[in-house]
A = this chain, B = another copy of it.
Amino acid sequence: MILSTRGRYGLKMMLELALNYGKGAMPLKDIARKQSLSDTYLEQLISPLRKSGLVNSTRGAQGGYELAKQPSEIKVGDIIRVLEGSLAPAQCVLEEEPECSKADYCATRLLYEKITESINKVIDSISLKDMVDDYYMLNNTNNKRRSENE
């Protein structure tokens, strides 16, 4: 499994905020309830998202969170990198000056670089807007669960 709950729950949260985009602040408890997740845990995850400028918060009663930019301007990669760190297969790919003390390290590093590049290409090409579009597409054609549930 590449993503831990941090990344997976974080993506769900951000999708929820994207669905709510333009409708004002959404309290964390609402997000947690909609996704059946622990709100105290989500609190831990949304904190770095706020600090990295992806979401804005409003404190106090009637407060909550909202996206800091348009959904189309937030890439899945931005979210994942904040919550999981870089999705590299090995440390050496992340270093400025990787010390490949043996040549065979480099042969595996080439591989790791190719994997990293390929993952980044995907997660940096998909925005929250794309996910919202997918969401509505799935919702209208395959099922009506959301409207039934809520």
List residues of A whose CB falls within 8 A of some B CB: 1-3, 7-8, 11-12, 15-16, 19, 35, 76, 85, 87-91, 101-108, 110-112, 114-115, 118-119, 121-123, 126, 131-132, 134-135, 138-139, 142-143, 145-146, 149
Pick from B12, B76, B119, B138: contact of A119, CB below 8 A: B119
Q: B126–A122 contact, CB under 8 A?
A: no
Q: B122–A8 contact, CB under 8 A?
A: no
Q: A104–B1 contact, CB under 8 A?
A: no
Pick from B8, B12, B87: contact of A2, CB below 8 A: B87
Q: A16–B104 contact, CB under 8 A?
A: yes
B-chain residues with CB within 8 Å of residue A108 when the two chains form the complex:
8, 11-12, 15, 131
Q: B2–A104 contact, CB under 8 A?
A: no
Q: A15–B114 contact, CB under 8 A?
A: no
Q: B134–A102 contact, CB under 8 A?
A: no
Pick from B19, B87, B102, B131: contact of A149, CB below 8 A: B102
In the bound assembly, the distance between CA atoms of A105 and B146 in angstroms comes to 11
In the bound assembly, the distance between CA atoms of A29 and B79 in angstroms comes to 43
B-chain residues with CB within 8 Å of residue A146 when the two chains form the complex:
102-104
